[in-house]
Copies of this chain bind each other. A is one copy, B any other.
Amino acid sequence: MSSVEVRAQQPEPATSLIPTLPGAHYTDPALFEREQQRIFQKNWFAAARSSDLPEPGKFRTVDVGGESVLIVRGRDRSLRAFLNVCRHRGARLCMDDSGSVRRSLQCPYHAWTYGLDGKLIAAPNLNSMNDVNRDEYGLIGVALREWLGTVWVCLADEPPSFADTVQAAVSGRLGDGDVIEKWGIDELAVGRRITYDVKANWKLIVENFMECYHCATIHPELTEVLPEFADGYAAQYYVGHGAEFGEDITGFSIDGQTGFGTLAGVDEHHDRRYYAITVNPQVFINLVPDHVIFHRMYPMAVDRTIVECDWLYPQSVLDSGADLSKSVELFHRVNQQDFEACERCQPAMSSKAYAAGGVLVPSEHHIGEFRDWVADAISD
Q: How many angstroms from the CA of A352 to the CA of B86 in the assembled complex?
A: 12
- 8 cross-chain pairs, A with B, having the tightest CB-CB distances, nearest first: A85-B353, A83-B353, A85-B348, A111-B217, A90-B354, A15-B130, A89-B358, A90-B358
Q: How many angstroms from the CA of A137 to the CA of B213 in the assembled complex?
A: 17
Residue in B closest to A133 when the chains form the complex, CB atoms:
B17
A109 contact set on B, CB distance < 8 A:
214, 217-218, 341, 344-345
A177 interface hit (Cβ, 8 Å): no
Q: For chain A, give the interface size range.
A: 35 or more
A87 interface hit (Cβ, 8 Å): yes
A164 interface hit (Cβ, 8 Å): no
Residue in B closest to A37 when the chains form the complex, CB atoms:
B352
Q: How many angstroms from the CA of A232 to the CA of B123 in the assembled complex?
A: 11
Q: How many angstroms from the CA of A163 to the CA of B169 in the assembled complex?
A: 61
A351 contact set on B, CB distance < 8 A:
67-68, 83-85, 90
A375 interface hit (Cβ, 8 Å): no
The residue from B13, B95, B124 contacting A232, defined by CB atoms under 8 A apart? B124
> How far does the Cβ of A105 sit from chain B's closest Cβ, in whole Å?
14
Assess the A89–B20 pair: CB atoms within 8 A: yes
Give per-residue flags for A116-149: 1 if the beta carbon is below 8 A from chain B beta carbons, else 0.
Answer: 0000000111001111100001001000000000
Assess the A110–B213 pair: CB atoms within 8 A: yes
Q: How many copies does the complex hold?
A: 3
> How far does the Cβ of A203 sit from chain B's closest Cβ, in whole Å?
12
Given contacts A85-B354, A359-B137, contact A90 B349 (CB under 8 A): yes
A56 interface hit (Cβ, 8 Å): no
Residue in B closest to A139 when the chains form the complex, CB atoms:
B353
23 chain-A/chain-B pairs, Cβ below 8 angstroms: A15-B131, A16-B132, A23-B90, A66-B350, A67-B351, A68-B347, A86-B348, A87-B358, A88-B358, A89-B358, A90-B349, A90-B353, A90-B354, A90-B358, A95-B344, A109-B344, A109-B345, A110-B214, A123-B361, A124-B216, A124-B217, A125-B362, A125-B363
A91 contact set on B, CB distance < 8 A:
341, 344-345, 348
A366 interface hit (Cβ, 8 Å): no
A108 interface hit (Cβ, 8 Å): yes
Q: How many angstroms from the CA of A48 to the CA of B114 in the assembled complex?
A: 44
Assess the B17–A129 pair: CB atoms within 8 A: yes
A75 interface hit (Cβ, 8 Å): no
A132 contact set on B, CB distance < 8 A:
15-17
- Of the candidates A86, A128, A351, A354, the one having the most CB atoms from chain B within 10 angstroms of its own CB is A351
> How far does the Cβ of A124 sit from chain B's closest Cβ, in whole Å?
5
Give per-residue flags for A295-339: 1 if the beta carbon is below 8 A from chain B beta carbons, else 0.
Answer: 000000000000000000000000000000000000000000000
